[in-house]
Structure 1
Amino acid sequence: MSKIQSEQFPLVGVALVVGGTGGLGRAIVAKLAANGSSVAFTYNTNSTAAAALEAEHAGGDYSVKAYQMDLMDSAAISSVVESIAESHGGIHTVVYSAGAPLYLRYIGAIEPERMNFHLQSDVMGFFNVVQNTLPHMRALKGAYVACCSCGLDKWPVKDALSVVPKAGIAALVRGIAREEGRYAVRANVIGTGVIDAGITQAGLESGDVPQNFVDGAIQSTPLGRLGEADDIAEAVLFLASQRAKFITGQVLNVDGGWTV
């Protein structure tokens, strides 16, 4: 392990990336593995993508291993977390990069059952991950990083199904920062802008995200472009590493200036 790598993460343990097969998740897994950490990542149903991601990093300096996990199943989360901690000697970082598909709807047009699904899968999914990882994070004085939405600071019309659950996650992150600092556990949020990956691309392909939404995002972003998955991965790396050892309870918007 090089000097720069040993300064970023503990010598033991693993970074857990929840939602590792998504557009953002894959970039985050790659970034952490390239900068000094073994990585355990979870997926729900896309076993093909999980196997491909494992194969992509086979033979590297740091192991990358997939674990199937349903965020709606709290018992399964507990089992997977314990297996990861036992296999890797602990968990020093938890990155939450999961999220339901992007459906753009006015609040008045959202079906209650759809909102309920987004809240349950996202907010309760994150809550269950936190409760099951906290003992391991306390042991290694770890860091949580939750990928949320820059819509927490500037409302994106029709995006309630994304922003409302992410607001709940952001509130939990602030609570963790406040309550778990006594154990030297840190927790921060990344407010993601419109990223040319993952749910944005999937939404364009399915028709749930119209092209004018993307065009409008570019026009209203001072840097004049969509974000890239690597932009988010770089922010995750910083907040998870020891370079951010005195930063907790904060929101870092990675949005090209969209919220300005």
Structure 2
Amino acid sequence: MKRKDFPDGAALVIGGSGGAGRAICLKLVESNVPVVFTYNKNQTRANELVNEITELGGEAQAIQLNVSDQQGIKELLEQTSQQYKQIHTLIMAIGYDIPQDYLANVTPELWQSILQSDVNGFFNVTHAAIPYLRESQGSIVHISSAGLFRYPPRDVLSVAPKAAIEVMIKAIAKEEGKYGIRANSVAIGVIETGIFLRLKETVFDEAWQEAVKAGLCLPRFGQAEEVAEAAIFLASSKSSYTTGQIITVDGGYHV
């Protein structure tokens, strides 16, 4: 089957076993794109996604990766490039179980840990991937936070690292555009998947949910598939003249 919106080669989804990441992998498979995705600890969930994609007639591999492991990142990129000839898409879709707390209560140790995993992890992967994406004139898509545009109290550990990453997205767009690389983000609001579902009965209780919905233009929470649609658009040739941008998928939270 001919790939209408993607060239030959593979897409690499970092954090593909998570809620939004899983939906992105499935959407790539719809475009007949081979997918290599990473997971951190949950091998069972990763294997389930591989099996699901295989049953759909797609091609996928799951690789365990810690984004602080620079040698592991290098090996992943080399292996994927050799097997599929080129990597044309890199999607950063890692989600973290980050505590919801006020800045004054955040310990220096927790702050450093989050920066190491989120900001430095993004740098480690994209820095190593740039030579491969130059060869393919490929695309980077980062799953970011709508909190960049309207800050939600007690969300500094999520939003602050995303702000730093957005500067790197702009740096890649500005500096690598001459090599054909594009870099964009999808800034998401509350999505009914992943961390939200795990903390729905505790942190994100009914009162919290109703308060958030009251501030949305569309009075409902988003779906992982809606995030995937935006990510695939930015990764594909349909957005071939779009770079350094952020699409918000937040139900109008930031309006």
Category of TM-score, reference length = shorter chain: over 0.9
What is the match of residue 247 of structure 2? 252
Question: Matched residues in 1 for 2:106 and 2:206: separation?
Answer: 21
Is 1:242 the counterpart of 2:226? The answer is no
What is the match of residue 96 of structure 1? 92
Question: Matched residues in 1 for 2:55 and 2:151: separation?
Answer: 44
- Identity, % of aligned positions: 39
User: Is the contact between residue 102 and residue 209 of structure 1 (CA under 8 Å) also seen in structure 2?
Assistant: no
Deviation at 1:61, TM superposition (A): 4.1
The equivalences for 1:62-101 within 5 A come to: 62-101=58-97
| 1:114–1:230 CA distance, 2 compared to 1 (3 A) | same
| 1:87–1:122 CA distance, 2 compared to 1 (3 A) | same
What is the match of residue 9 of structure 1? 6
Q: Which amino acid aligns with 2:14?
A: V
Q: What's the CA shift string for 1:126-168, capped at 9, x where partnerless?
A: 1011111111111111000000001111111110010011111
Question: Matched residues in 2 for 1:159 and 1:258: separation?
Answer: 15
What is the match of residue 54 of structure 2? 58
Deviation at 1:100, TM superposition (A): 1.6
SS in 2 for 1:225: coil
Q: Which amino acid aligns with 1:96?
A: M
Q: Which amino acid aligns with 2:171?
A: G
Is 1:125 the counterpart of 2:121? The answer is yes
SS in 1 for 2:61: strand
Question: Matched residues in 1 for 2:186 and 2:5: separation?
Answer: 19
User: Which of 16, 19, 30 in structure 2 is aligned with 1:20?
Assistant: 16
Q: Which amino acid aligns with 1:7?
A: K
Structure 1 runs (4+) deviating above 2 angstroms are 59-62, 207-215
User: Is the contact between residue 4 and residue 31 of structure 2 (CA under 8 Å) also seen in structure 1?
Assistant: no
Deviation at 1:59, TM superposition (A): 4.5
Q: What's the CA shift string for 1:176-204, capped at 9, x where partnerless?
A: 00000000100001110111111111222
What is the match of residue 192 of structure 2? 196
SS in 1 for 2:184: strand
Q: Which amino acid aligns with 1:106?
A: Y
What is the match of residue 43 of structure 1? 39
User: Which of 227, 236, 240 in structure 2 is aligned with 1:232?
Assistant: 227
Question: Matched residues in 1 for 2:57 and 2:235: separation?
Answer: 19
What is the match of residue 208 of structure 2? 213
Deviation at 1:247, TM superposition (A): 0.1
Q: Which amino acid aligns with 1:71?
A: V
Q: What's the CA shift string for 1:206-240, capped at 9, x where partnerless?
A: x3444433222211111000010011000011000
User: Which of 175, 179, 186 in structure 2 is aligned with 1:179?
Assistant: 175
Q: What's the CA shift string for 1:57-115, capped at 9, x where partnerless?
A: 11444311111111121121111121111122111000000032132101111122112
Most deviating of 28-37 and 182-191? 28-37
SS in 2 for 1:155: coil
Q: Which amino acid aligns with 2:154?
A: K
User: Is the contact between residue 118 and residue 161 of structure 2 (CA under 8 Å) also seen in structure 1?
Assistant: yes
User: Which of 194, 218, 223 in structure 1 is aligned with 2:218?
Assistant: 223
Question: Matched residues in 2 for 1:208 and 1:122: separation?
Answer: 21
Q: Which amino acid aligns with 1:50?
A: A
Point out where structure 2 has 5 or more consecutive residues left out of the alignment: none
RMSD: 1.3
| 1:103–1:214 CA distance, 2 compared to 1 (3 A) | farther
Q: What's the CA shift string for 1:39-63, capped at 9, x where partnerless?
A: 1100011111111110111144431
SS in 2 for 1:148: strand
SS in 1 for 2:200: helix
User: Is the contact between residue 91 and residue 141 of structure 2 (CA under 8 Å) also seen in structure 1?
Assistant: yes
User: Is the contact between residue 173 and residue 249 of structure 1 (CA under 8 Å) also seen in structure 2?
Assistant: yes
Point out where structure 1 has 5 or more consecutive residues left out of the alignment: none
